[in-house]
């Protein structure tokens, strides 16, 4: 992985750069692989909402952005997860290529992994559990890598990315660590990590640099993620969720979970976060009428592109990058 480059001096210079062109060609093939894989397995692609009365409250450290919608305060989507669950009433297997807008803290610019505007490959599967979603995320990433190696080899070569870097990705299966095991590993590496919180960005990168293949972290503590991540009935206080972490310091690519889907449980979880359930009126109305249990995940398109290209910062794989803390086009 390259050192972290500074953001572009101008949009014109960025768009003229051969690095940008090669990276976006790779991204085009990632999208082709995603759509072919998901359509081939019976998924329906829906067009995601861009604004709504509420959005995902679980974006760590980021602020939601408001728009005036006929005199009402609506939110730009930080994630379309609530809409994914509702859409299961139409289709049992669905996905979005979903735009997300978040005002990330300026200090996240230094991670090389954050943008204020980005896209997620958002997948939801009715009747699925964590193991199902986790296995599908692994299979999808493997197919993406294989397709890009077959179709964009010249672009990878131009970016200096050695195909040998993906040997362990294609060798599978990916390893799995529990959150508790990840915390212990970090403390053994002299990194202070709370056992009741998400793995922090520095810790995540440290773990990532210890591995040569992607790996999963599962069972985050309750309260560390949004109310929609289901509490594991076999492990109270733990969530039936997972992150997929890329090796070599590239960090998180995917976050997913089983979903809370029963009205009383969701209302309780919302209240536990200190929020008013009335804020989620339309969503709770859908849950009250009944929706299927499900599991799903969001895969960061720009993060996957950066991993495949080996570039130093995620802004390099975005045509119009919105870097935290900077005003841009």
Tokens, residue 236: 């109270």
Give residue 8's pLDDT.
85
Residue 246 lies in a domain: yes
Residue 253 lies in a domain: yes
**Measured CA distances, 112 to 120, 159, 252, 253, 317 (Å):** 17, 17, 12, 13, 11
Residue 156 lies in a domain: yes
Any residues with CB less than 8 A from the CB of 230 and at least 6 apart, and which? 239, 240, 241, 257, 258, 259, 260, 261
What tens-digit pLDDT sequence spans the chain (329 residues)? 546 898 888 999 999 999 999 999 999 999 999 999 999 999 999 999 999 999 988 767 789 999 999 999 999 999 999 999 999 999 999 999 999 999 999 998 888 999 999 999 999 999 999 999 999 999 999 999 999 999 999 999 999 999 999 999 999 899 999 999 999 999 999 999 999 999 999 999 999 999 999 999 999 999 899 999 999 999 999 999 999 999 999 999 999 999 999 999 999 999 999 999 999 999 999 999 999 999 999 999 999 999 999 999 999 999 999 999 998 77
Please state the φ and ψ torsions of residue 40, each to the nearest 5 degrees.
-65, -20
Residue 141 lies in a domain: yes
State the CATH number of the domain containing residue 88.
Answer: 3.30.930.10
Residue 323 lies in a domain: no
Residue 5 lies in a domain: no
Give residue 185's pLDDT.
96
The total number of structural domains that make up the chain: 1
Residue 40 lies in a domain: yes
Residue 324 lies in a domain: no
Asked if 263 and 288 count as a contact pair (C-beta separation under 8 A), the reply is yes
The boundaries of the domain holding residue 312 are: 11-317
């Amino acid at each position: 992985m390259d050192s972290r480059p500074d953001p572009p001096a101008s949009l014109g210079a960025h768009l003229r750069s051969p690095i940008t062109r090669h990276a976006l060609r790779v991204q085009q093939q990632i999208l082709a692989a995603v759509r072919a894989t998901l359509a081939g397995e019976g998924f329906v692609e829906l067009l995601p909402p861009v604004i709504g009365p509420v959005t995902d409250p679980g974006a760590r450290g980021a602020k939601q952005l408001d728009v005036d919608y006929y005199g009402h305060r609506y939110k730009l989507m930080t994630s379309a997860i609530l809409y994914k669950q509702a859409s299961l009433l139409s289709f049992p297997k669905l996905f979005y290529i979903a735009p997300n807008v978040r005002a990330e803290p300026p200090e996240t610019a230094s991670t090389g992994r954050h943008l204020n505007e980005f896209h997620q490959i958002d997948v939801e599967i009715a009747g699925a559990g964590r193991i199902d979603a986790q296995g599908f995320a692994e299979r999808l990433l493997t197919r993406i890598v294989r397709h890009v190696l077959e179709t964009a080899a010249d672009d990878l070569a131009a970016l200096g990315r050695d195909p040998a870097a993906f040997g362990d990705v294609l060798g599978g299966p990916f390893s799995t660590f529990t959150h508790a095991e990840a915390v212990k590993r970090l403390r053994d590496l002299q990194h202070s990590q709370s056992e009741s919180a998400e793995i922090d960005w520095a810790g995540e990168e440290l773990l990532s640099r210890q591995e040569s293949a992607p790996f999963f972290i599962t069972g985050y503590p309750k309260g560390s993620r949004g109310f929609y991540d289901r509490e594991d009935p076999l492990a109270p206080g733990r969530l039936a969720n997972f992150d997929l972490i890329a090796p070599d310091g590239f960090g998180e690519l995917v976050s997913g979970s089983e979903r809370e889907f029963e009205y009383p449980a969701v209302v309780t979880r919302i209240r536990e976060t200190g929020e008013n359930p009335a804020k989620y009126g339309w969503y709770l109305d859908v849950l009250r009428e009944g929706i299927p249990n499900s599991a799903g995940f969001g895969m960061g398109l720009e993060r996957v592109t950066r991993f495949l290209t080996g570039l130093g910062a995620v802004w390099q794989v975005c045509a119009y990058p919105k870097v935290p803390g900077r005003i841009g086009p």
